Structure 1
Amino acid sequence: MGRQARHVYTDQASIHQLESLVEELPANGHVVLLLKDGSSCDGVVSTRPNVQVFRDAEEREGINATVQLERPDVPEWTRQVWLDQIVRVEHLDSIMASEN
């Protein structure tokens, strides 16, 4: 993946939105991610994501982040999701669900 991203963000509102999503994605949390394209995916967060500096195709520098999901019952399955593509996070584990 490197340091390239399809979309990067520099405005405070977008960066705040990405940071808010990071808080909703704790390591080992079991989640369903509802995505902008209408699809969803579920899995366990391998590590809490961090916002980072990326460059887009025009070499503009900005912020974005990814989260990696895993499925313990399917060890070879992983999925990397850009946080800016997430519309909503649903928590399937009782710890985060009770905090929200």
Structure 2
Amino acid sequence: MAQYVERVCVDPADIRRLESLVADLQGNGHVSIVQKDGSVCEGVVSVRPTMQVMRDQSGREGINAELRLERPREPAWNRRIWLDQIERVEHLDSILGSES
């Protein structure tokens, strides 16, 4: 069963960009996300995003993925960001996150 979302990527270049972001967003990595609208969000990647086949509101099938950020010192805080809305990822830790 397909999930309906606001936006999906169908262009091969856009899908490759999503794949690159998924590879860059390792679980437990501390990152700052600059979004296309200029907003910035900082947190720890709770789990590496997984690209999924979804449909947009008009029924067009495509790919997208959702990033979930957390802040360990603020247990109630979390943020979800669609990967197609990410302009840039800045790593804030000295090493890449681990997938454990």
The question of a shared fold, defined as TM-score above 0.5 by the shorter chain, is answered with yes
- 1:82 maps to 82
Runs of 4+ in 1 over 4 A off after TM superposition: none
Q: Which has the higher strand share?
A: 2
Q: Supply the distance in 2 between the matched residues of 1:49 and 1:9 (Cα, whole angstroms).
A: 15
The alignment's C-alpha RMSD in Å is 1.0
Would the aligned equivalents of 2:9 and 2:84 in 1 still touch at CA under 8 Å? Answer: no
- CA shift, 1:46, in A, is 0.3
Partner of 1:94: 94
2:42 match: 42
Tell me how far apart the structure 1 counterparts of residues 89 and 4 of structure 2 sit (CA, whole Å). Answer: 24
Q: Which runs of 5+ in 1 are unaligned?
A: none
One-letter amino acid of the structure 1 residue matched with residue 23 of structure 2? E
Give the distance between the partners of 1:9 and 1:69, measured in 2 at CA: 22
Deviation (angstroms), 1:39 = 0.5
Partner of 1:26: 26
Q: What is the aligned length?
A: 95
**SS in structure 2 of the partner of residue 80 of structure 1:** strand
Q: Give the CA deviation at 1:43.
A: 0.3
1:34-81 alpha-carbon deviations (Å, 9 max, x no partner): 001110000000000011011100011100001100000000001000
Separation (CA, whole Å) in 2 of partners of 1:46 and 1:60: 29
Q: TM-score, normalised by structure 2?
A: 0.91
Q: Which has the higher contact order (CA 8 A, sep 6+)?
A: 2
Unaligned segments of structure 2, at least 5 residues: none
Partner of residue 6, structure 1? 6
Q: Distance in 2 between matches of 1:28 and 1:34?
A: 18
Q: Secondary structure at the match of 2:88?
A: strand
